[in-house]
């Protein structure tokens, strides 16, 4: 049972606080990724940040979901995934092409959701989009981990391309689902 219930317009909520901490931790994560001796600490921080997405979701369900949380939580996911992936590209751990494909979709969908959101239209996340976020998180974690070997690298590349495929498919789903919304705007 919830001890506090926040209305849909609330900003200062426990879930939003967790989301804000996730966003503010991104520069620390990027520095750890780029520091050659910090692979395990970077991986540990990544696991905490990726896992805390479940915590803010649980808090939002317990205390009341808000419009700000519905906007900020996926934004935090995108900042974390893209920030980590760009750092991993800079480090040479990931190829830039799949990261660019993911980035283009994530930015385009964020702009789209913001645009229709200002017109009062909510674009809820599908289950496939949640799976996409987790596959992206696994790919980032695998790329951060200081594990080597041809087999491991092959699995990492496969997971990354699965993340790209899910990213593009869910992006197309959002656009398909929203085609009537776009026509009405």
Contact between 137 and 88 under an 8 Å Cβ cutoff? The reply is no
User: What is the domain-level CATH number for residue 133?
Assistant: 1.20.120.1760
Domain count of the fold of the chain: 1
Q: pTM for the full model?
A: 0.88
Q: Does a structural domain hold residue 5?
A: no
18 located within any domain: yes
Tell me, yes or no, whether 50 lies in a domain. Answer: yes
Which pLDDT tens digit goes with each residue over 113-159?
778 777 777 677 788 988 999 999 999 999 999 998 999 999 999 99
The answer to whether residue 4 is domain-embedded is: no
What confidence tier does 182 reach under pLDDT thresholds 50, 70, 90?
low
Q: Which domain holds residue 160?
A: 14-184
Residue 10 has a pLDDT of: 63
Give dist(CA 49, CA 56) in Å, integer. 11
Please tell me the predicted confidence (pLDDT) of residue 80.
95
* Domain annotation covers residue 8: no
The rounded distance, in Å, linking the Cα atoms of 24 and 176 is 33
Whether residue 27 lies inside any domain: the answer is yes
Read off the pLDDT of residues 1-48 as tens digits, 9 standing for 90 and up.
455 676 666 667 888 888 999 999 999 999 999 998 789 999 999 999
CA–CA gap between residue 63 and residue 106 (Å, rounded): 28
In-domain check, residue 9: no
HSE, CB side, 13 Å, CA atoms: give it for residue 161: 5
More confident residue, 173 or 6: 173
Residue ranges of the alpha helices (H) in 35-126? 39-63, 67-91, 96-117
160 burial (CB, 10 Å; 0-12 / 13-18 / 19+) is: buried
For residue 2, being part of any structural domain is answered with no
- The whole-angstrom distance between residue 49's C-alpha and the CA centroid of its chain comes to 10
């Amino acid at each position: 049972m919830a001890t506090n219930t926040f209305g849909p317009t609330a900003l200062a909520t426990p879930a939003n606080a967790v989301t804000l901490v996730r966003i503010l931790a991104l520069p620390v994560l990027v520095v750890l990724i780029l520091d050659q001796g910090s692979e395990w600490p970077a991986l540990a921080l990544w696991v905490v940040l990726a896992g805390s997405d479940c915590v803010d979701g649980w808090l939002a369900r317990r205390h009341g979901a808000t419009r700000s949380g519905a906007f900020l939580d996926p934004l935090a996911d995108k900042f974390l995934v893209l920030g980590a992936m760009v750092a991993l590209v800079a480090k040479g751990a990931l190829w830039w092409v799949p990261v660019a494909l993911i980035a283009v979709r994530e930015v385009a969908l964020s702009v789209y959701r913001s645009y229709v959101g200002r017109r009062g239209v909510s674009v809820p996340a599908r289950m496939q989009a949640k799976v996409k976020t987790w596959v992206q998180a696994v790919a980032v974690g695998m790329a951060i981990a200081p594990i080597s070997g041809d087999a491991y690298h092959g699995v990492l590349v496969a997971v990354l391309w699965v993340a790209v495929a899910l990213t593009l498919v869910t992006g197309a789903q959002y656009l398909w689902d929203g085609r009537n919304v776009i026509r009405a705007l």
